[in-house]
A and B are shown apart, each in its own frame.
Chain A
Amino acid sequence: MTEISYQDLPWPVRDDVAAAQVRTWERLGQPGTWLTGAERLAVAAEARNAQDCKLCAARKEALSPEAVQGEHDHLGQLSPLEVEQIHRIRTDPGRLSRSWFQGLVDQGMVEERYVETVGVIANMVAIDTFTKGLGLDPWPLPAPQPGEPTRLRPVAASRELAWVHTLPPAGAIGTVDEDLYAGRPTAAHIYQAMSLVPASVKGFFDLVVAQYLPPQAMRDFDNEYRAINHAQIELVAGRISALNQCVY
């Protein structure tokens, strides 16, 4: 069992941050909605491996990523489609396009697995970038847990908002997924992004609340909740997003 702990650091990491990361690590090896625990860990390992991929490095330097063809340096645990998804999202997210996504679907990518994979990558990036920032090695991956994915798809999912199907907040009301939006009829698009797999949303936003801010604190400019203030938080967030060329 991997134990995430920052007790030995010379700087204090808030208990809620460490606790959220521990929960994320526990979930990582467990069966998900569309991926087994072993598959989720394969995605996590491939997301790390992508950073040393020579094809990804060449594409990153190219005017267009599609201009450079070749084979990814991969760990051999996942299909070529899944490797392409993971490597592109990990190494060059700002130049992903609808046509790239549709190309994966046309070649047989299962959209629900795609979305759950996005969630695993996001969790890995959030924790690995945190440890890198503090000068630590990445945490060893947890052991896979047995069991089968639930394969529960929200009945009201539709492809209206994004490239992927999402569950509209109003459509969730009265369904088993109503708790995802706590009965609210609207939600930020980023919260809806992975809603085809509600467990991925809940898992990732466990980290969001701890490493960024809880929803009620985001626009509460009369109070500060962290050791850096709202303006400093948004400066860091904005700079990271600019470096990633993220339009959202």
Chain B
Amino acid sequence: MTGDDAGNDGGVPNGAMLTRFANAVLGDDPGELSAARTAIAETMGGAALTDTAGVAALFNAIDRVADSTGIPLEDEKAAATDSWRGAIGIDDFAAAAEKGSGA
């Protein structure tokens, strides 16, 4: 999820397709975004495409709320994820020391 793992579905049905869309919607290649959009619409249906766009867009926004207000991760979430946050690279993010499990 945190790495450059194009083509990996993460064990989720159509995961690679959804990840491709997430990458493309934050990127600056209109052709790639169009292709990612078409792939979801043709494989999963139009409603899946618009719901995917809704989730991607919402989290692009909510990340900014979290990062600009400086809220820390809840203690119980930090404890529950402590064993794998480092392994998948989250603890290497720029703000990890201030807001993450090490906060």
Chain A contacts to B: CB under 8 angstroms? 6, 9-14, 17, 85, 89-90, 93-98, 101, 115, 118-119, 121-130, 132-135, 161-164, 166, 188-190, 192-194, 204, 207-208, 210-212, 226-229, 231-233, 235-248
Contact = CB atoms under 8 A, between A and B. Distances in A.
A134 B37 contact: yes
Given A11-B47, A126-B61, A227-B47, A236 B55 contact: yes
A108 B90 CA distance: 33
Contact of A248 (B19, B37, B66): B66
Nearest to A240: B59
Interface residues of B, number: 58
Interface string B24-62: 011000000110010001001111111111111111111
Closest 6 CB pairs of A and B: A11-B46, A163-B70, A133-B53, A129-B57, A227-B47, A248-B66
Interface of B: 1-2, 10, 12-15, 18-19, 21-23, 25-26, 33-34, 37, 41, 44-74, 89-90, 93-96, 98-100
A242 B1 contact: yes
Given A133-B21, A133-B57, A236-B22, A245 B95 contact: yes
Contacts of B13: 229, 231-232
A90 B1 CA distance: 22
A246 B47 contact: no
8 contacts: A93-B63, A96-B95, A123-B61, A132-B25, A228-B44, A232-B12, A235-B12, A240-B59
Tell me what chain A mostly uses at the interface: helix, strand, loop, or mixed: helix
A121 B52 CA distance: 21
B25 to A, nearest CB: 5
B26 A240 contact: yes
Contacts of B62: 122, 126, 190, 208, 212
Contacts of A235: 1, 10, 12, 15, 18-19
Given A96-B67, A133-B37, A226 B1 contact: no
Name the residue in A190, A228, A243 with the highest tally of chain B Cβ atoms < 10 Å from its Cβ: A228
A98 B98 contact: yes
A123 B68 CA distance: 14
Contact of B69 (A90, A115, A244): A115
Contacts of A188: 74
Given A133-B37, A227-B45, A162 B72 contact: yes
A232 B94 contact: no
